[in-house]
Amino acid sequence: AQSVAQPEDQVNVAEGNPLTVKCTYSVSGNPYLFWYVQYPNRGLQFLLKYITGDNLVKGSYGFEAEFNKSQTSFHLKKPSALVSDSALYFCAVRPPPTGRLYFGRGTQLTVWP
Amino acid sequence: DADVTQTPRNRITKTGKRIMLECSQTKGHDRMYWYRQDPGLGLRLIYYSFDVKDINKGEISDGYSVSRQAQAKFSLSLESAIPNQTALYFCATSYRAADTQYFGPGTRLTVL
């Protein structure tokens, strides 16, 4: 069975500090990996994805994610958090060869001033 | 994504009523999806369509049906709504299986 785990329901960081939102997965094959962000009363917005190549992927709004094949992880990172980064973050995986996405349960990120 | 629209944005209905949620896209994508979001559960796939003639069940299709009227339109129906279908519903589109999915703004459905 395909599964995606976001082990932390909430992550709290101070503005200016680095942030990490964790994601691990259990799927067959070599999946494509995604991060989405959801602001209140909005749909999901694409942040970044990993398909192949460099393990460090850079995305929108200064976010990046590190792929670790041996640990089956795809953690989202940002060197310096902003209050405006406060939102709900979802990790998703797409096992080959389907077009289906499997989502984690989401991590609420709060950045305080 | 403004290229993916959903109507209505909010709907309150009663148990047993038939409800249709509509999704339209101007991105020219051939693949469309319906998800529901419940607090603490993430998003779960209800149905997906890879083209007008191809409809597939997702992980939670019971109690739902869909119609792909055209490449740009994909509707979700609840034939007889029940309270545990109260949720936030999202439509998404993608060009190919490997591509990013783009989401609509969502429909908040409440079944009393």
Backbone torsions φ then ψ of A20, nearest 5 degrees: -140, 130
At position A20, the amino acid (one-letter code) is T
Give the closest of B40, B44, B105 to A42, CB-based.
B105
> Residue A90 contacts by C-beta under 8 Å, 6 or more apart in sequence?
A6, A35, A36, A37, A38, A44, A103, A104, A106, A107, B42, B43
- Of A7-16, A99-108, B76-85, where does mean pLDDT reach its minimum? A99-108
Chain B residue closest in CA terms to A42: B105
In this prediction, residue B24 carries a pLDDT of 97
- pLDDT above 90 covers a percentage of chain A that reads 79
B58 interface with A at CB cutoff 8 Å: yes
Give the closest of A4, A44, A94 to B103, CB-based.
A44
Q: What is the Cα–Cα distance from A21 to A33, expressed in whole angstroms?
A: 14
Hey, are the CB atoms on A9 and B104 less than 8 Å from each other?
A: no
Chain A residue closest in CA terms to B43: A103
Q: What is the Cα–Cα distance from A23 to A109, expressed in whole angstroms?
A: 14
Residue A44: which of B103, B10, B42 has the closest Cα?
Answer: B103
Q: How confident is the model at residue A95 (pLDDT cuts 50, 70, 90)?
A: confident
Q: Residue B84 in 3-state DSSP?
A: helix
At position A86, the amino acid (one-letter code) is S
Chain A residue closest in CA terms to B101: A46
Residue A102: alpha-carbon gap to chain centroid: 12
- Average pLDDT value for chain B: 93
Q: What is the mean pLDDT of residues B83-101?
A: 89
